Each structure stands twice: as structure tokens, then as C-alpha cells.
Amino acid sequence: MLGFFERLVDPYTPYKESDHPPQRLWPFLKEYAQPFKRVFVYTALVSVIVAAMEIWLISYMGRLVNLLSEDNPADMWRAHGLELVLVALFILLVRPVMHGLNVALLNNSILPNFGTLIRWRSHGHVLRQSVGWFEDDFAGRIANRIMQTPPAAGEVIFQVFDAITFALAYLVGAIVLLGGADIRLAVPMLIWVTLYGLLVRWTMKRVGPASKASSDARSEVTGRVVDSYTNIHSVKMFAHHDQELNYAKESIENTRQTFFKEMRIFTTMDVALTAINGWLIVGVVGWAVALWMQGLASVGVVAAATALTLRLNAMTGWIMWALTSFFRNLGVVSEGMETIAQPVKLVDSPGAAPLSVTKGMVEFKALTHHYGRESGGLEGVNLTLKPGEKVGLIGRSGAGKSTLVKLLLRFYDAEKGAVLIDGQNITDVTQDSLRKNIGMVSQDSSLLHRSVRDNILYGRPDASEDQMVAAAKRAEAHDFILDLEDPKGRRGYDAHVGERGVKLSGGQRQRVALARVILKDAPILVLDEATSALDSEVEAAILDTLYGVMEGKTVIAIAHRLSTIAHMDRIVVLDDGRIVEEGNHQELLASGGLYSRFWERQSGGFLGTEEAAE
């Protein structure tokens, strides 16, 4: 039966992605809540009915006291027996059904699905952000916000219907009940409601910002801790255990101080709540007793007023905590919005078409990009790669090699100039189609924390098992893959490689990455230090494979090991963001320029760019 409620809303229902999600809290929640509108209406209605039933039961208790005090047992049963049976059936059957409906809508329809919907859509939105966006933040902090915002948003909605709607209906019902018995009983209740409202206002003005500050601090702790764990090799290698502990302690202590401030608000609230609840009990019950002593109220009215005030006294703490939870979670959602509601700035242009690669010509026209700074990056680069041409790219660190590749892949939009592939400006085609036509092996061959099979098939998910194995063999990876076994006993291509591929050696990671690109078989190939992690024997075998893979493709190869690019059709030398030399290996050696000096000073086939520059 509960499956019916769980299926009332599909959290994965199709939706239109927005590059500019709402930046304000309530519009943000409203946009996510659209699939739940019908369920919210049902839940609010049922919550009000449940509150009305509770008020009616207290009212009926007053009537029962009056009946017991007025009639003897025999007369009581003859006159009111059917009524008592019907009330008993109502309590035994109808009340549990309505309560069950209320909690099923809350616990099974809303809570699991609302959080899932927000997490699913938020993750999708964040994945659409540019590489530069991720480079400006902690991965741990981003992940923490993706994880903590959905349950906080779910709690906000839960408290709206479980506490706030119920409490409002209950308070209105209580005032009506007391006023119906004697209008004067409603006066102390209204005074209490006013005092309670002022306390709620005081608390809410403070708890929201305090909760957001606490949430910010917790995200900072997560970011710093994950940063240490991600770079654990460096931490151990440099023996910086104490330094990392102190680095984390700073943010942990900040979290403690923000938590102190938050808890001071709750302590003050609790003390004030106890004081005004004393007024509620004395005011309402005392006034009811006074009316009874004057013969203006029955014993049943006193009993109902007493039960109602004691019930409200017990409820007020729960309501206040529900309200503080409501606003505390709003603070968490607000903090999470700093990540998951940021606009996607690097987007496909309106009407962008898929890239069509027919020849593989790549053109960089007056390309300038400084990452918003005054220096670094590229300055006015003009470079054309003919279809099928193999171009080596060298230069000292910071010369602009990686920037050129990032702009080709459109990880950033160039500040000036353009990149064209077969005459198509890459800003006019879809990003997915652009990157599907470019294969890249980088120096940092990080892998996904999945199986070897998953990592290789990432290049072409629809490839067959034989095609995948053939790619691994061409990358000289098949033999070592068969010997792999992870801690859970999975072997060979099913073995998991650990976070970023940490379970494999550098050379093994690079060969798996090569297999992935070989399987992708894109018409444009980018090699960024593709063999830097390989020993000489394996490199020789891999180079033969790479030269085979390069056939018919347009290739950009970045290398410090000049032996890997000496046979390229053309070599381009970058310096300070500009092209300073280009030609084949022999021509550049004969010119006696920067490339020649690099060649002379290389040691073991590596490029001594910093020394050569001096």
C-alpha cells in the first residue's frame, strides 16, 4: 500500500534545464516543488483535518465530563450509549486512517522524493558548469552542498505540513473552542498567542543567519578535510600531518564558534517559552476556574480548557523546535544555493548545431586569453593545422600550451579571437559534439573510481567487449589488467582502480587512459605529455601504437620529452603566450633558435625549458 504513496511523484520526471536558476530562496524552492503541487494540496488538507479532529476530541472530553457529572450510570448509557459507541469507532478507525494518510503523504510521498529530485537536478546543474568553475572551488565543498541541501529542503517542506500547518489549524481551533465555551476564555489565549508570535519572530530573525553561518562553516571543514585526503600522498611525503591537522583545526574551531552562537539563540528561546507557557496555563485554566466558581462555566469547560492548555504547553516546544528546524534548514538551503543555484555561464549558443568534422582542419585565429588577468595565457596566436597534420607543441611552463588545448576543448571561452574546426566556430556548435570529436590523453591521467572496463568504455560506451580488449592491447595494457585484483576480490577488467586510479601505477593509469582514447577513435587527437609516466621500453612500444593511432587524424602533441615529437610534421614553439618559432625538427635545429637550445640542453630526452630560457 505504501508503494502507492511512494509513486505519487516521480523525482526523475523530465524538466527543462535552466542556465539561470532562481537566486532567491522561495522562488528556488518553488521551482523544484512544481511536480509536488497536487501532493502538497492533499497534505495540507489532511493536516488541517487531523488538527481539527484533535481539537474536537478535547472538546468532546469536556462534554463527557459534563455528561458524567449530570447523569447516573444507567441513564447515561440509555441516553448516550450509541453516541459513545460511535465516538469510540471514530477514535479506533477514522482517526488512525486520517493520521496514517497524513504521515504516508509526508514520509513516503514527499520526504524521499523531494530530496531526491533536488539532488538529481542539482547534480545535473553542477555537471554542466565549466572546468574553470570547478577549479575555483573545493570539490569537497561542492559535494557537501549537493548532499546536505536536498535533505534540508525536504525538512523545510516536512515542517510546513507536519508542524506549521497543523499548529496554525490547532491554534485557530483552540481559540474557537474556548471562545465558544466563554468568550472571555479566548482573551488570555489571544494574549499568549501574541507573546508566542513575538518570541517566534525574535527567534526566526536570528536563527536563519546563524544556521547559514554554521552550514558555511561545516562546508569549509568538509572542503579542507577532503583536500587533505585527496592529496594524502603529498601529506605523507612531506610529513605534514601536524600542519594539515592545524589547517583543519582552524575551520573546525570556526564551526564550533558559529554553533555556540546558534545554540545561544535556542537556550534563550527555551527559557522565554517556559515563561510565556506559564502565562498560558495560569491565564486560561485560572480564568476557567474563576468562571466556574462564579457559576458561569461548567466542570466540562474547566476540564476542556485544562486539557487544551496542557496540550498546547506540550505542543509549543515541539512547534518552536519545528519552526527553528524550518528556518535552520532554510539557512542550509540558502548556503547550498551558493553552489547549486549559480548560473551556468559557459553555455551552447542559441541554435547551436552538432559539430561536423569532415576533414579535421583546426584554426586558431588571433587567439587571446589571460583568464581575466593582465598576463599569462595566450596573446594573439594564429595557428592552422591542416587536415591530418601532426603538430608538436613545446615551450616552458606557463608559455600557453595548456591554455591552447583548453580553448580548443572550450573549457573556457576565449577573451578574443576564435577557434574553428572545418570552418565552424566552436562557439556555434554544441559542447558535447565538440568534445566527442576530440580525443585527449593528458599528463595527469586520473581515472574514475570504477572498474577498468568502465574506465576504458568511457571512451565509447557502446563498444563491444572485443573492441575494448583490442584497445587495451594496442595501449600495452591488456597483460597487466589481467593480473589486477581489488580488495573485494574483483579481478581483471572488473577490478576497481581506486579514487583517481590510485590503485594503479602512473604508467598503468596512462596506458588505461590511452586505451580509452584509442577506443574513442576521434578525428582530432590531443596528447598532453601522453607518455611522460612510461618507462623507456614501454614508451617505445606505445609510440609505435600512437603513430598508428595518429594516422588520418589531426594531432596536437605537447611534450617536454622532445624525442616524442621530433617526427611530427611540424613543431610550434610557444613563449610567453606567443608563437616564436615553427617548422620541422631539422629546420628548427638549423635555425639555432629557442628549440635548438632546448634540444641541446635536454637531459635524457627531457626538455630543460626553465634552464634553457635563462
N- to C-terminal Cα separation, the chain: 77
**Greater confidence, 141 or 612?**
141
Angle at 502 between CA 501 and CA 504, to 5 degrees: 75
- Per the DSSP assignment, residues forming a β-bridge with 198 are none
CA distance 170 to 267: 26
Q: Using the structure block, give the residue that is written with the C-alpha cell 481551533.
A: 173
CA distance to 230, 422, 526, 577, per residue, from 419 (Å): 35, 10, 15, 16
pLDDT band at 613 (very low <50, low <70, confident <90, very high): very low
CA distance 592 to 597: 7
Domain end position, chosen among 284, 316, 340: 340
Domain end position, chosen among 293, 323, 340: 340
> Is the domain of 192 the same as that of 333?
yes
Q: What is the pLDDT of residue 519?
A: 93
In a domain, 388, yes or no: no
pLDDT band at 605 (very low <50, low <70, confident <90, very high): very low
3 state SS of 287: helix
**Sign of the dihedral defined by the CA atoms of residues 538, 543, 549, 554, in that order:** positive
CA distance 123 to 416: 31
Q: What is the pLDDT of residue 159?
A: 79
In a domain, 67, yes or no: yes
Quick one: three-class SS letters along 520-580?
A: HCCCEEEEECCCCCCCHHHHHHHHHHHHHHHCCCEEEEECCEHHHCCCCCEEEEEECCEEE
Q: Is the pLDDT of residue 610 over 50?
A: no
CB atoms within 10 A of CB 34: 10
> Is the domain of 336 the same as that of 470?
no
CB atoms within 10 A of CB 295: 7
Q: Please give the order of strands across the beta sheet that includes 362-369.
A: 378-385, 362-369, 416-421, 424-425
**Sign of the dihedral defined by the CA atoms of residues 366, 370, 372, 375, in that order:** negative
If one counts the domains in the chain, the total is: 2
Percent composition of the chain: helix, strand, coil (DSSP 3-state, to 5): 65, 10, 25
Q: What is the DSSP letter of 603?
A: B
Angle at 488 between CA 484 and CA 494, to 5 degrees: 45
> Is the domain of 459 the same as that of 333?
no
HSE, CB side, 13 Å, CA atoms: give it for residue 142: 18
Tell me the Ramachandran region of residue 584: left when phi exceeds 0, alpha when psi lies from -120 to 50, beta otherwise.
beta
**Angle between helix 241-280 and helix 186-230 axes, rounded to 10 deg:** 170
By CB neighbour count within 10 A (0-12 exposed, 13-18 middle, 19+ buried), where does 316 fall?
A: buried
pLDDT band at 598 (very low <50, low <70, confident <90, very high): confident
Q: What is the pLDDT of residues 425-452, one digit of tens each?
A: 999 999 999 999 999 887 777 788 899 9
pLDDT cut 70: percent of the chain above it: 94
Range of the domain at 307: 21-340
> Is the domain of 165 the same as that of 292?
yes
Q: What is the DSSP letter of 605?
A: T
In a domain, 172, yes or no: yes
CA distance 244 to 430: 42
DSSP 413-482: --SEEEEEETTEEGGGB-HHHHHHTEEEE-SS----SSBHHHHHHTS-TT--HHHHHHHHHHTT-HHHHH
pLDDT band at 224 (very low <50, low <70, confident <90, very high): confident
**Angle between helix 536-550 and helix 465-474 axes, rounded to 10 deg:** 120
Domain end position, chosen among 497, 521, 545: 521
Tell me the Ramachandran region of residue 77: left when phi exceeds 0, alpha when psi lies from -120 to 50, beta otherwise.
alpha
In a domain, 12, yes or no: no
> Is the domain of 332 the same as that of 451?
no
Q: What is the pLDDT of residues 363-393, one digit of tens each?
A: 999 999 998 887 778 999 999 999 999 999 9
In a domain, 547, yes or no: no
Q: Using the structure block, give the residue that is written with the C-alpha cell 617536454.
A: 560
Q: What is the pLDDT of residue 36?
A: 92
Q: Using the structure block, give the residue that is written with the C-alpha cell 532554510.
A: 330
Backbone angles phi, psi at 246, to 5 degrees: -65, -35
Residue 262, domain CATH:
1.20.1560.10
Reported in sequence order, the residue ranges of 295-401 that DSSP labels E, i.e. its strands, are: 362-369, 378-385, 390-394
Give this prediction's pTM: 0.74
Backbone angles phi, psi at 249, to 5 degrees: -60, -35
Under 8 Å between Cβ of 417 and 443 = no
Q: Is the pLDDT of residue 110 over 70?
A: yes
The C-alpha cell at 295 is 457559576
Q: What is the pLDDT of residues 163-201, one digit of tens each?
A: 777 777 777 777 777 776 667 777 787 888 888 888 878
> Is the domain of 178 the same as that of 320?
yes
> Is the domain of 462 the same as that of 313?
no
Q: What is the pLDDT of residue 536?
A: 65
Q: Is the pLDDT of residue 73 over 90?
A: no
> Is the domain of 151 the same as that of 293?
yes
CA distance 379 to 155: 52
Mean pLDDT over residues 521-526, rounded? 92
Q: Is the pLDDT of residue 92 over 60?
A: yes
> Is the domain of 313 the same as that of 164?
yes
Q: What is the DSSP letter of 449?
A: S
Q: What is the pLDDT of residue 533?
A: 55
> Is the domain of 198 the same as that of 71?
yes
Residue 474, domain CATH:
3.40.50.300
In a domain, 263, yes or no: yes
CA distance 362 to 438: 11
Q: What is the pLDDT of residue 78?
A: 79
Angle at 409 between CA 403 and CA 410, to 5 degrees: 85
CA distance 487 to 498: 10
Rg (CA), the chain: 35
In a domain, 452, yes or no: yes
By CB neighbour count within 10 A (0-12 exposed, 13-18 middle, 19+ buried), where does 293 fall?
A: exposed
CA distance 196 to 67: 34
In a domain, 383, yes or no: no
